[in-house]
Amino acid sequence: MPRCILSPLDLTVEELDELMDTAMDIMKDPEKYSHTMDGKVLATLFFEPSTRTRLSFEAAMLRLGGKTMGFHSADSSSATKGETVADTIRVMSQFADICAMRHPKEGAALVAAEKSDIPIINAGDGGHQHPTQTLTDLMTIKALKGHFDNLTVGMCGDLKFGRTVHSLIRALVRYENVKFIFISPKELMLPGYIRDDLLIRNNVEFREVTKLEDVLSELDLLYMTRVQRERFFNEEDYVRLKDFYILDRKKMELAGKDMLVLHPLPRVNEIATEIDDDPRAAYFKQVRYGMFIRMALILKLLDVKVK
Ligand code: CP
């Protein structure tokens, strides 16, 4: 099986550092990297909607000199005729050199990786993992805060189904003395396999609260998330919970002057647009960092070294 990235833990802390260094170097000198993927093809297989992740991968490959191909919905693929993920990836292995795949089912990327001849990057599998969003988040924190150790990180919104939250927690617990405050309605609290099996088992310090206002002053970083309509079984629950948190100017007055606000995007109502120009709002910069770290990841998985 080629090297695949299914979870952020598929990369060591040292490899993450190396990726972030490469991404920083690409930002400084993009020209140096602009032909590193000449003749290579990236397939983007998206069985679920996306704006950022798919186009960020495509932009990354194009800026490295490579080409892209793929589909952006299950409806436009032979999945509608009953083709399995395993068969789809065997076919793609004949066409492309590397593949980014998103699928609504947890574990789909693992199934693909087991049958693939080319590196598979999990671009989101259901409520499970989204490792390149985590790389994006880490890159943003590193660039804007300079370190991971000793941070107090607030995570707010849908902590139950939020795959970006689950992946980022897994990545951050590997650093020294990172504390978490989880802010959610009780229906959207962290799943047990994160709370008990990861945090409690590893003696990570954390609290679970429902009121955002009560904890804003303690945070170095606030990771806001959307309540995801597509993960709910009934519309009534979604409607009841969707506007549970709205980060606005008044709430930002309670936060420290250096508290970063991150969001994987898309946002709906959970961050008022009135704070978009607040210097602490980093979610659009985050999108840009995401493209550079994906460039670094493509180079690594295809084993291309640039002097
Ligand atoms: N952050 C993220 O995964 O966005 P998309 O769903 O638009 O790819």
pLDDT in tens, 90-119: 999 999 999 999 999 999 999 999 999 999
Q: Which helix (H) or strand (E) holds 283?
A: helix 283-301
Picking from 191, 178, 186, the residue whose alpha carbon sits closest to that of residue 211 is 186
Instruction: Give ranges for CATH 3.40.50.1370 in the chain.
Output: 8-129+290-301, 132-287
Top mutation candidate among 56, 133, 168, 284 for ligand 1, by most atoms within 8 Å of CB: 133
Query: Percentage helix, strand, coil, to 5, in the chain?
Result: 45, 15, 40
Does residue 264 have its Cβ closer than 6 Å to ligand 1?
A: yes
- Output the DSSP codes for 88-151: HHHHHHHH-SEEEEEESSTTHHHHHHHH-SS-EEEEEETTTB-HHHHHHHHHHHHHHHS--TT-
Does residue 44 have its Cβ closer than 6 Å to ligand 1?
A: no
Give the Å distance between the CA of 51 and the centre of ligand 1: 6
pLDDT in tens, 37-80: 999 999 999 999 999 999 999 999 999 999 999 999 999 899 99
- What superfamily in CATH does domain 132-287 come from? Aspartate/ornithine carbamoyltransferase (3.40.50.1370)
- Residue 144: what pLDDT? 97
Cβ neighbours of 258 (radius 10 Å): 12
pLDDT in tens, 217-247: 999 999 999 987 766 667 787 777 788 899 9
Does residue 273 have its Cβ closer than 6 Å to ligand 1?
A: no
Token pair of 96, please? 């492309």
State the closest ligand 1 atom to the C-alpha of 102, by its place in the atom list counted from 1. 8
Give the Å distance between the CA of 28 and the centre of ligand 1: 25
C-alpha torsion sign, points 68, 74, 76, 78: positive
Question: Mean pLDDT throughout 19-36?
Answer: 98
Look at the domain 8-129+290-301 and name its fold.
Rossmann fold (3.40.50)
19 vs 24: CA distance, rounded Å: 9
- Residue 235: what pLDDT? 79
Give the Å distance between the CA of 123 and the centre of ligand 1: 9
161 vs 56: CA distance, rounded Å: 23
